[in-house]
Amino acid sequence: MIEYIKKDIFQVDAEILVNPVNTDGVMGKGLAYQFKKKYDSNHKIYIKECEMKRFGIGDLIITKEIDGKIIVNFPTKTSWRENSKIEYIQVGLNKLKEYMIENSIYTVALPPLGAGNGKLSWDLVKKEIEIFYSQLDEMKFTVHVCEPEKLDSKLSKSHLLLLKLIVETYKNGIGKEKLTDIVFQKSIYLFDILMNRDFFKFDKEKKGPFSKLTGVLYNELKKYKNLSGLSLEEMSKYLEQKYTSETLEKEDRAIIKSIKLVNELYKLNSSDQEFEDQLELVTSILYLMNIENKSNEEEIVDGIVSWNKRKKEKYDSNKIVNTIKYMQNENIIQKGIFQNYTINRI
């Protein structure tokens, strides 16, 4: 039997799980990185074989794990920098077929080999998988094929980060009606600050740091959500498989920390308006510290009241100083020996 499924490969009931890798010894992103995190001993064996130059196209590195799974490391490309080639898939599937028949192993879970980061056409890869299956005894063997989700390939890492931030916000009890443009913008800015980069291109605007890019990305997400019929969680899971890396793990921590702060501010303030005002002030202080190098209370207070007339009327010096102290208590910023503040990053 051959079965096409849209499912996490680690949840498939199969004896063999196929891990698409390069022959460089790098499991840097995507599904290979997930295998690296889940099966450390397999990763170490793979690294050793690559270092010894004993692993090339058409070779399989096979390990047996304590959970009973057999991991087949299947080379879909020579270098992580290069694209896959269909002949790599053909020769690898032939070796996999021989291994399964010789060892009487009857169930296997295949990812879309080379059709993700490898850039091969899924239709082309699917044909090779069907040829592979046709050479097995269909009464004995079961091939589970984890099909790629049909999401637009233009969905980027930026879309994934926004999705994860929205999902994390909802998980923390800030519902859709509370996730206003102000809250959305400032939550993303906190993430950028924690990561110490300007990923979403924030500018100094009337109500604090503002990114036009996030609005564009959000509208694209809405469009693809409507076209695909997938939930936000499903879209996030698909993109996470595509962009999973060590950097994404760090970004996950920054997202969790930023939403935790937003949630705490939400609980501390008695009205939605007070919550948004406080969030605006916190992010504006961070902007002044990060972009304009304001580092002590006097400079920060002056930066807020001189930002524009609106801020001068909304935030007096006591409010600003108390917010600085709150940020210090929450470990968002810290005070040095010369009374200057610095931002605590991830």
* Residue-level pLDDT at 230: 79
Stretch 228-242: mean pLDDT, rounded? 81
Active-site residue set: 77
Residue recorded with tokens 């079961």: 142
Mean model confidence pLDDT for the chain: 93
Q: Which of 96, 120, 146 is the last residue of a domain?
A: 146
Whether the predicted pLDDT of 285 surpasses 60: yes
3-class SS at 344? coil
Give the tens place of pLDDT for each residue, 166-190: 999 998 888 888 899 999 999 999 9
Res 149: pLDDT: 67
Can you give the residue range of the structural domain that contains 260?
157-343
Q: Which residues are CB-contacts of 305 (< 8 A; sequence separation ≥ 6)? A: 311, 312, 315, 317, 320
Residues 316-339 pLDDT 10s: 999 999 999 999 999 999 999 888
Looking only at the bridges linking them, the beta strands covering 70-77 and 107-110 are unpaired
- Confidence class for position 143, pLDDT limits 50, 70, 90: very high
Measure the CA–CA gap between 181 and 167, rounded to whole angstroms. 15
Alpha carbon distance 107, 92 (integer Å): 17
Q: What is the pTM of this model?
A: 0.71
Residues 161 and 35 in one domain: no
Same domain, yes or no: 164 and 123: no
Asked whether residue 291 falls in the same domain as residue 312, the answer is yes
* 151 part of a folded domain: no
pLDDT digits (tens, 9 = 90+) for 102-117: 999 999 999 999 987 7
**Is residue 164 located within the same domain as residue 142?**
no
Q: Read off the tokens for 75.
A: 């080379």
Determine, yes or no, domain membership for 131. yes
Task: Say yes or no: 88 and 196 in one domain.
Answer: no
Based on the fold, state whether residues 27 and 172 are members of the same structural domain. no
From 87, 114, 146, give the residue that closes a domain: 146
Structural domains in the chain (count): 2
pLDDT at 270: 87
Check whether residue 50 and residue 179 sit in a common domain.
no
Answer yes or no: do 195 and 132 share one domain: no
202 and 331 housed in the same domain = yes
**182 shares a domain with 123:** no
Residue 152 lies in a domain: no
The percent helix, strand, coil of the chain (3-state, each to 5) is: 55, 15, 35
User: Is residue 65 included in any domain, yes or no?
Assistant: yes
CB 281 within 8 A of CB 320: yes
